[in-house]
Structure 1
Amino acid sequence: MTKFDEATQAIKVDEGTYDVCLDPRYAIGGPLNGGYLMAVMLRAAVDASPFEHPVSTTAQFLKAPIAGPAQVRIEPLKAGRTAAFARATLVQDGMAHIEGLITTATLNEAEPVYEQPADDMPSRDECVKLPDPKPESGMTLNAQMELLFDPPTIGWLKGRPTGRPESRAYFRMTEPQDPDPYVLALAVDALPPVVFSAGARGWAPTVELTWHLRALPAPGWLTLLGSGRLISDGWFDEEVEVRDSAGRLVAQSRQLARVGRG
């Protein structure tokens, strides 16, 4: 079991209840990463399902949970021949913090009938890392994964944002681990907020995030392609496309978030 598997494990207590322990190593300056929290909830949802894979997840982030004990409560809604539907709630101290609707199914290694080509990315040798965060920053998430960025999309670090909401990077876990659906849940929320490239700064809390598992990823690096369409009235959207090492589309996400205050 890898450290990530251990950090996301869900232990069944009874029908519909799972104990979890939220890991402080997945924090972003205090709050825990939303993708990590979804991975925790998905472990419980898949265990309670007759199917193997979380193909669609919608999460409403009601309140930021803290590291430590919590529970995931699963309410089955319907199960058919090819898919099952359930409501998942992350509960801490008796209060719902995240509400999710999760569809599970079993994916096979089918060849796509149609797949839109990915945007071009420079080679990994041409990409760069973010500076290591200061220990007192509480940015523990950075140590759990490797991100190599397309240089223009982190121009905001030196006061040169591109002016467009965008972020692009190669991704893998720091600990050797082939990507799986739970790693993909983390990956779709692993990029810095795309509004940084548009000139905004500060914590940008996710309000709602939906993501789809489109295929089981091949081993190796993932490519994350993030963009936004509208920044308005203190809100922004962020879409992320995830490609595996074979170039295949394996995950898609869209989230609605608040513009941070720098």
Structure 2
Amino acid sequence: MAATESTIDPQQPVVALDDAAFGRACALTELPSGNPVSADNSTVVRYSGVIDAIWTIGKKLHGGTMVATSAAAAARGLRAAHPESAEMLPIAASTDFLGAPDPGRVDYEVRVRKAGRQICLVDVDLVQEGRTLVHTAFTFGRVDDAPPVYVPESHTDMPTEPTADAVAYGPDSPMRIAHLSQGASVAIDPIWARFLAGEQGKPQLRLWIRPRPADEQDPEVAVYFAMMAGDMSPPVSMNLGRFGWAPTVQLTTHLHRRPAPGWLRVIATTPEVGERMFVQDQLVLDATGAVIAQTRQLALIPLPR
């Protein structure tokens, strides 16, 4: 989750713009397996990759990006072991964050738990400097490939592209702690984001996000980007005046279909904000209005200042 401080660290990592910035984060190199069989006798395949400082919130890696790059590792490991699963995509992911990785090299340990005709199960540990910091259990299947038969009206009242008053992410914006604008175009709706005006409002937010052209044109990368977008919103609790780091305890991601080209819309809401924890739901819609992905995360309320 994109946590934003009321006083923002002015230090902004600058990385050369790349038309395939997200694709680079998803690029993997296979490593020697070392211990090829885990304790439960499942085969372990290892990959390495680099997630650079573009994909950070403050100084730490963005959670949704790590889910997406882990999905890329899971897909590669599954297809290598079971080529018949090539058409499957990660339709569900359950992620636990055991630590906060830094930008740079990360390794992935991939275990195929089940390979079936309809459903496959794959576990991925994201490892940095010998420590497992993120664990994700993936379910692979075939996504919908036809238009939805029903779309709620509440999904269609958000403009398909950023409005004229939308606040673009960037080094000079109030959202500059989120560095993802170096690798994608991101903007937030100020009508819903009352905290931007120093006000309070309903705990709900709306954003727009679009990958760079080369990432959008790569069908596989576009899928992983949509999964990442499900973790793009700042904490909705900010509209209640609760600023600061809202660490994610657990994140669940569902992938419904491949995205159409164009802007993705992210709608963040909550069923409840408590004193210790809150739940944040995020819908990711594409330019057609179809739900591409959705997430639910359990996060801790920032401590009062």
Give the Cα–Cα distance (whole angstroms) in 1 for the partners of residues 163 and 178 of structure 2.
25
Displacement, 1:82? 1.2
Displacement, 1:171? 1.4
Give the Cα–Cα distance (whole angstroms) in 2 for the partners of residues 130 and 112 of structure 1.
30
User: 2:75 — aligned with what?
Assistant: 46
User: 1:160 — aligned with what?
Assistant: 199
Give the Cα–Cα distance (whole angstroms) in 2 for the partners of residues 230 and 5 of structure 1.
35
Q: Deviations over 1:112-162 (max 9, x none)?
A: 343333152246334411563469x76422322222322222220221121
Q: Deviations over 1:183-241 (max 9, x none)?
A: 01220111111111122101212111101001111100111110112121321111001
Give the Cα–Cα distance (whole angstroms) in 2 for the partners of residues 172 and 161 of structure 1.
28
Q: Which moved more, 1:178-187 or 1:69-78?
A: 178-187
- Show structure 1 runs of 5+ residues with no match: none
Scaled by the length of structure 2, the TM-score of the pair is 0.79
* 8 Å CA contact retained: 1:126, 1:150: no
Displacement, 1:108? 4.9
SS in 2 for 1:252: strand
SS in 2 for 1:232: coil
2:122 is the alignment partner of 1:86: yes
Summarize the Cα distance change of 1:33–1:103 in structure 2 as closer, same or farther, 3 Å threshold. Answer: same
Q: Deviations over 1:4-25 (max 9, x none)?
A: 1012222222451111222121
Give the letter aligned to residue 173 of structure 1.
P
Q: Deviations over 1:90-125 (max 9, x none)?
A: 111111101110011233522334333315224633
Give the structure, 1 or 2, with the largest relative contact order (CA under 8 Å, sep 6 or more): 2
* 8 Å CA contact retained: 2:169, 2:178: no
Across the aligned residues of Structure 1 and Structure 2, the Cα RMSD in angstroms comes to 2.2
Give the Cα–Cα distance (whole angstroms) in 1 for the partners of residues 239 and 75 of structure 2.
36
Give the Cα–Cα distance (whole angstroms) in 2 for the partners of residues 167 and 180 of structure 1.
23
2:73 is the alignment partner of 1:31: no
Summarize the Cα distance change of 1:176–1:158 in structure 2 as closer, same or farther, 3 Å threshold. Answer: farther
Structure 2 counterparts to residues 86-125 of structure 1, below 5 A: 86-117=122-153, 118=155, 120-122=157-159, 124-125=162-163
Give the Cα–Cα distance (whole angstroms) in 2 for the partners of residues 114 and 138 of structure 1.
37
Identity of aligned residues (%): 29
Larger Rg, first or second structure (1 or 2):
2
User: 1:20 — aligned with what?
Assistant: 49
Give the letter aligned to residue 29 of structure 2.
I
SS in 1 for 2:226: helix
Summarize the Cα distance change of 1:245–1:192 in structure 2 as closer, same or farther, 3 Å threshold. Answer: same
- Show structure 2 runs of 5+ residues with no match: 1-18, 34-43, 79-84
User: 1:148 — aligned with what?
Assistant: 187
* 8 Å CA contact retained: 2:21, 2:215: no
Q: How many residues align?
A: 260
* 8 Å CA contact retained: 1:57, 1:212: yes
